[in-house]
Amino acid sequence: MPHYEIVVRHDPDVDVNLAALASDVGLAVSTGGGRACLDGDLVDRAALHGVLDRLFTLGADLLAVERRSTRHRP
C-alpha cells in the first residue's frame, strides 16, 4: 500500500478540520514550521484524490504531495 506525505500551510481555521479528515481516512497529522503534514497509507489513487478534494473543500493551501515506498521520519 502506498505511503503518502501531504503538506499544507498551517492555518488554525483549517487545522481543526484537518484532524477530522485525517481521522476519517487513517492518516496522522503533525504541525510545525508553519506547516501541517498528513502522513500515512492510502489504498490507491482514488483515495489520494479523495483526500486532496477534501483539502480543497476545506480551503487548505497545498504545498506538497509525496509518495514514499515506506514511512519516512527525518
Count other C-beta atoms under 10 Å from residue 71's C-beta: 11
Q: 3-class SS at 38?
A: strand
Question: How far apart (Å, rounded) are the C-alpha atoms in residues 48 and 21?
Answer: 12
Record the cell numbers describing residue 8, joined without a space: 499544507
What mean pLDDT comes out for the span 13-20?
A: 87
| pTM as predicted | 0.87
Question: Cβ(56)–Cβ(31) under 8 Å?
Answer: no
- 18-69 per-position pLDDT tens digit: 989 999 999 999 999 999 999 999 999 999 999 999 999 999 999 999 998 7
Contact 6, 51 (CB under 8 A): yes
What homologous superfamily is domain 3-68 in, according to CATH?
UreE, C-terminal domain (3.30.70.790)
The domain locations on the chain are 3-68
* pLDDT at residue 68, rounded to an integer: 86
Q: What is the mean pLDDT of residues 69-74?
A: 59
